[in-house]
Structures are given as structure tokens and as C-alpha cells.
Amino acid sequence: MPRLDRVLVSVDFSPASSEVLGTLGTLDLPAASLLLVHVVPDLPFAAAAYLKETQIRQLQRDLESQAERMLEDLAARELGDRYSWEVVIARGNPARCILKLARERRTNLIVLGNSDQSKEAGIRFGSTAEKVVASAPCPVLIVPVGGS
């Protein structure tokens, strides 16, 4: 089995996020370095009809800064000093960004949660999880919401 020392953890701030980080505590990853990733989607094209370009850029920066603060707080609360971790805020399509970072950082495990929405729709995985599993350069651990 490959050594799992570079783990990308996708955090979307859904109810699954705390479960995803909590699951890491149940795994035997003593030397793991965690790359905690949140992807802020690009603002919808329609925003251009209501805001100036400079306002859109500022809003995007504000969203990214807020996401970084939220992820730092969540990681400190859920992980503490059990692991070394780094926060990365990306912008764009979540699946593409996760896959790109996994390749660039040569991670050997991707961990992400399965959304409530996919369960309600009777789908096994959400669209992001499905795309990541289909193209991941390493194993992927999907953490179900509610532990089911």
C-alpha cells in the first residue's frame, strides 16, 4: 500500500465538512501533511449586469478571504495540532481545481464529503465527487454525511 503522507482534503463548508475532518482522526495517518482546499466558484456571468468589473473583482477577493478565514478556523477547531496542514483557496470549478491541485502537489489521497443533496436525489455521489473519483491521480475517500 502506498504511503499516505500528502492528503488533499476538500472542504465545502457543508454539514459534511466537520465529518470529513473528523474522519481524518480515525485514520492512521501519523506523518500526513494535509492540504485543506476550498474552491470558491467564479461569480456568475449575470453579476456583470449589476456590478462594475472592479466591484466583481473586489467581491471575489472578499469571498476568497472570508473562505480562508473560515477554513483556518475550522481546521484549528477540528484538527488542532494533530496534523500539519496548509489552507489553499482556489477559484473555479471545484472538481477541476481539486484534480489540478492533487496533481500539482502529488497528493496520494483525496478526501471529500458526499453532499446531502445527492442523497436526497437518490444519487450515489454528488457531481464533484463523481468527477474527482473518475479522474483522480490517486485513491479517493468519500465521507458520507451522517456516517451512513
Average pLDDT, the chain: 87
- pLDDT score of 79 more than 60: yes
Q: Band the pLDDT of 121: cuts 50, 70, 90.
A: very low
Q: What is the pLDDT of residues 25-65, one digit of tens each?
A: 788 787 789 999 999 998 887 788 888 989 988 999 999 99
Q: How far is Cα 1 from Cα 87, in angstroms, rounded to an integer?
A: 27
In CATH, what is the architecture of 6-147?
Answer: 3-Layer(aba) Sandwich (3.40)
Question: How many residues are given for the chain?
Answer: 148
pLDDT, tens digit, for every residue of 4-21?
889 999 999 988 788 888
